[in-house]
Amino acid sequence: MEEIQTKKRIDMVKLKKTGAIVLPSIFTIANMAFGFFAILLASDGRFVNAAWFIIISYVMDMLDGRVARLVHGESSFGVEIDSLSDWISFGIAPAYLIYKLVLKDYGVWGYPVAFLYVLCGALRLARYNVTSHFGGSSKDYFQGLPIPGAAGILVSFVLAYSMLEGEGGTRSIRVVMDQMPYVYAAIPFIMIALALLMVSSAPYAAFKGDMFKANSIKGLLVITALLSLIVAYPQDALFLFFSLYAVSGVIAGIYKSLKGVLSSKEV
């Protein structure tokens, strides 16, 4: 009788563990699904809808990690499937979206630009996985621009640029909108820059360590301000935030290099 009860307890523990792994994976698969649907929408020329589907992938990507930590369902399987989902939603989908919208006009030269972004996105995720498995990742900083951050610039550009063509809303930040034609012309160079930043060593804030606490007064004020601006000017605000984030790593990297040079001279 005692052996039967012990076996039941073991089975219950296994069942709970399996459920803890499956639950966050549902959000991960939803992330992958919306990224795939975005590719289908972009192939039909529905670029704004495709961009919003990738935004939904962001929401799913944020939820899967939080749910995994909440139910203690972190696993090596979860890390791998999450990276595969991110590669589809934030690597392949935005690259295809930008190709269909802009890069196709460059003929055969649009191919390597789009592929470079997809390739560097895959390398960025592979490096992150290896670092995570060996416990070398930092809670405060990412090494290189995270692929969701790179995709955010491309997707928010599509949303902001669509307003110039009378799609996707009328509320806009004039300063940002005035730059959209120049951004459109510079898209090939922007994609190359984003690709290189993803595989660089530039430090980018992770917003998940002690450096930034969402439940602190400072954190709540920052989040409230950001959400308010996004609600007021959704397309432009997203483009502005993602662009500032991409530039922040470059500035931090230059500062870190200069600090290291000055320190070596003092010694």
Q: Each residue's pLDDT tens digit in the chain (267 positions)?
A: 555 555 545 444 443 445 456 777 888 899 999 999 999 999 999 999 999 999 999 989 888 777 766 766 566 777 788 899 999 999 999 999 999 999 999 999 999 999 999 999 999 999 988 887 776 666 778 889 999 999 999 999 999 888 876 665 556 677 778 888 899 999 999 999 999 999 999 999 887 655 555 556 666 776 777 777 777 777 788 888 999 999 999 998 888 888 777 666 665
Q: Is the separation of the CB atoms in 67 and 27 below 8 Å?
A: yes
What is the number of structural domains in the chain? 1
CB-based burial label for 85 (10 Å; 0-12, 13-18, 19+):
buried
Asked whether the whole model's pTM tops 0.75, one would answer yes
Please spell the DSSP secondary structure of 203-219, one letter per residue. EEE-SSSTT--TTSHHH
Give the Cα-Cα-Cα angle 32, 210, 255 (nearest 5 degrees). Answer: 90
pLDDT digits (tens, 9 = 90+) for 203-250: 998 876 555 555 566 667 767 777 777 777 777 888 889 999 999 999
Buried b or exposed e, range 30-47, using 16+ CB within 10 angstroms: bbbbbbbbbbebbeeeeb
Alpha-carbon distance 156 to 149, whole Å?
A: 11
What domain range includes position 95? 2-266
| Cβ neighbours of 182 (radius 10 Å) | 8
Q: 71 in helix, strand or coil?
A: coil
